[in-house]
Amino acid sequence: MKHNEPTTHPKDTRVRAKILLVDDSEVVRDSVALMLEARGFDVVPVTGVFGLPQVVAREAPDLILMDVSMPAISGDKAVEIVRRNEPANCPMVLFSDRKPEELERLAYQCGAAGFIRKTGNGDELAKAVETYLLRGRGGRVPT
C-alpha cells in the first residue's frame, strides 16, 4: 500500500451517501430513487412526516430531501420538527418545484440548508445533492 494515499471521508460522495427522501408522491419517490441510485447514492424513501424523527435517528442519512407540499404537514414545518426532536447531523434540503425565491425564504425560515428544485434530469439532481453533501450540515447554497 502506498503511503499518503488520500483516505475516503465519510461525506465524500465517492462512497454511497444515504439520502432520505420524504415525499408523499409515489411517482416522485420512485423516479428520484431510480435517478440517484443509478448515480451511486443510496435512497431511503419515506412517504410522510409521521415518525420522521425516529426514522432519521435509525437511518442516520447523509442528507434529507424534504418535499414541501405534503398533505398532513408541510415540508418546512417537518424540518423544524426534525430539528427540534432529533437534531439531524446532516443537511436537510427542501425539495420542490415551487419558485426559487419562495423556497429560499422557506429554507431560511425553517432552518433548512437550502433547496433543490424537482427535476427529471438525473445528472442535475445528483449534482445538486452532491453540492449539499460536500458543504455539509448547515451549509447554505445559493441557487
57's grid cell: 435517528
- Is residue 25 near other proteins by the rule CB under 8 A? yes
On whether the CB atoms of residues 121 and 36 are closer than 8 A, the answer is: no
> What's the closest the beta carbon of residue 50 comes to other proteins, in angstroms?
18
For every residue of 66-100, DSSP letters joined together read EES--SSS-HHHHHHHHHHHS--SS-EEEEESS-H
Residue 13 in the binding site for other proteins (CB under 8 A): no
27 binds other proteins (CB under 8 A): yes
How many of the chain's residues bind other proteins (CB under 8 A)?
21
* Chain residues in the site for other proteins (CB under 8 A): 24-28, 30-32, 34-35, 38, 69, 71, 96-97, 118-123
